[in-house]
Amino acid sequence: MRRSLAASLLLLGLIQVPGTGALRANDAQASDDRGGAFQDIAALITAAQGTFPAAQLPLMCVSIHQATATPAQNLKLLQKIGAHCARSDNNWNSIEREGAAGTYQWDGFDDFWPVLCRAGIKPIMIVTYNNPIYAAGVFRPIVGGANIAAYQNFAVAIADHFISTCPNMVEELFNEPSANNWTTVPWSGKSYAQMLAPVSAAIKKAQPRVTVYSGGIGIDPDAPGSWIKDMVSAGLRFPAVDAYGLHPYDSDEAFSNKTPPPEKLLVNAAHFAEDAAAAGQGKPIANTEYGFSLPSTGDDPVRQGIYVARGMLASIIGKYPLHTHYDLIDDGVDQTDHENTFGLFRNGDFKVPYEMKPAGRAFSTITSAMAKAKTFTVNFDAALSAPSIAFEKPGGTAFVIWTYDRNGSKSYEHPIGPFKQISCKDVLGKSYPCRYAGGTLSLSLTESGGPVVVTALR
């Protein structure tokens, strides 16, 4: 039986968990429900309040499908939105090819990663998937001594090959091992652990500077936590794993009103961390993939942008090592295919190639608010279900304020201190009505209108 969040908080302390698309789970609870998940969200944000050094801010990352743009174009778009890191596949069967076992051919990948790394973009390299040389197919679990040994050799080869160009690289060992769409034969957590332990240790032995994540694990509403419990209870330890990857997707494409508020990723991550910690294997939780298709937000691109921003802000509250949005560019132009609607930018074949979407604007707004911060402060007005984050910078403060409660407008009034100049905008860059007098900020908050970014200059 799952513990209450109050018990989880006692077990985990302040729930500091670091964490690629995972299971798009339906949630039985509509996002305007005042009980259940809302109470858990409030408990976690309340516990997360305080002032913290900027070093505890998550890196804001984006997933990339390499075929949707040239490396130079990908870099340009990443820089346009202020992204700190990029996550993409190193496809095993494309690098170690049939007929050339034991030989690694990096063409294509050598054109991609160095362009990003030399520009200061942190690389998250997913070691994907299986290889027909050693298994029955690409989308098969990596099991058995020969298959695991070959995968280990490949993962070490990635580290050896890229470490000089990308010294801050991350290797993520497989993508969504818990999801049957990437392993057509189910892969148990226990079996995955038998691969994770030796492969992570071999990477660290070869290149100690490489950060190692487990493959991003999805949320399963029918068996919450069972996969991670199975993995960490397999009788193996993972000292070379720096963080467990998590994909906290939790939206409903058929009934968008049942898509929970993005802040629920805090609850999902807390439960995930609790399951690992209960087995004595607690680690940071890295959100390595998270996003919203257009249908899951009611086919409303503005709401999609708002949800992107709030997911990023929730990860700041959770103090995870990174937050990865899925994905940079729409995979195609056919919007009836929901997989073509996750991007921050339009596909290159769109009538305006690589046009920034509201989601891209919202992502950029949050990275701009974070930029150059020395410290950040998390506060919470429980009566209004209104979190706020204040990013302290030289010369002023950027406040981001929002509510996740859909039930009407909220009158927000809080002292913020003395400033010479105040301006208020929404996450899409439009002016937002606010009043500042006597050191107190006043504005009207709505779930559909925020977050509000307040730029305060001294």
- 0.85 exceeded by pTM: yes
Q: Are residues 335 and 451 in the same domain?
A: no
What is the domain count for the chain? 2
Q: Are residues 166 and 299 in the same domain?
A: yes
Sorted by sequence, the CB contacts under 8 Å of residue 242 that are 6+ apart come out as 211, 212, 213, 283, 284
- Give the torsion sign (CA, 96, 99, 102, 107): negative
Domain end residue (candidates: 353, 371, 389): 371
Q: Which residue has the higher pLDDT, 33 or 213?
A: 213
**Can you give the pLDDT at residue 11?**
30
Give the other-Cβ count within 10 Å of 331's Cβ: 16
**Can you give the pLDDT at residue 218?**
87
Q: Is 99 left (phi over 0), alpha (psi -120 to 50) or beta?
A: left
**Can you give the pLDDT at residue 219?**
77
Q: Are residues 24 and 60 in the same domain?
A: yes
Q: Are residues 391 and 452 in the same domain?
A: yes
Q: Are residues 393 and 315 in the same domain?
A: no
Q: Report the C-alpha gap between 409 and 388 in whole angstroms.
A: 16
Q: Are residues 22 and 73 in the same domain?
A: yes
Q: Are residues 305 and 434 in the same domain?
A: no
Q: Which of 60-69, 265-274, 306-315, 351-360 has the lowest mean pLDDT?
A: 265-274
Domain end residue (candidates: 371, 401, 428): 371
Q: How confident is the model at residue 30 (pLDDT cuts 50, 70, 90)?
A: very low
Q: Are residues 251 and 349 in the same domain?
A: yes
Q: Report the C-alpha gap between 275 and 273 in whole angstroms.
A: 5
**Can you give the pLDDT at residue 28?**
30
pLDDT average, residue stretch 69-98: 98
Whichever domain contains 430, its CATH number is 2.60.40
Q: Which backbone phi and psi does 221 adopt, to 5 degrees? A: -65, -20
Domain that holds residue 410: 376-457
- CA distances to 21, 40, 238 from 8, in Å: 26, 10, 22
Q: How confident is the model at residue 220 (pLDDT cuts 50, 70, 90)?
A: low
Q: How confident is the model at residue 181 (pLDDT cuts 50, 70, 90)?
A: confident
Task: Look at strands 410-415 and 440-445 and give their pairing.
Answer: antiparallel
Whichever domain contains 287, its CATH number is 3.20.20.80
Which amino acid appears at position 8 of this protein? S
Sorted by sequence, the CB contacts under 8 Å of residue 61 that are 6+ apart come out as 83, 84, 85, 86, 87, 122, 124, 288, 322, 323, 324, 325
Q: Are residues 299 and 332 in the same domain?
A: yes
Q: Are residues 304 and 384 in the same domain?
A: no
Q: Tens digit of pLDDT for each residue in 269-305?
A: 998 899 899 999 999 999 999 999 999 999 999 999 9
Please say whether the beta carbons of 344 and 62 come within 8 A.
Answer: yes
Domain end residue (candidates: 315, 342, 371): 371
Q: Are residues 15 and 81 in the same domain?
A: yes
Q: Which backbone phi and psi does 98 adopt, to 5 degrees? A: -60, 135
Q: Tens digit of pLDDT for each residue in 386-410?
A: 999 999 999 999 999 999 999 999 9
Q: Are residues 332 and 398 in the same domain?
A: no
Q: Tens digit of pLDDT for each residue in 297-336?
A: 999 999 999 999 999 999 999 999 999 999 999 999 999 9
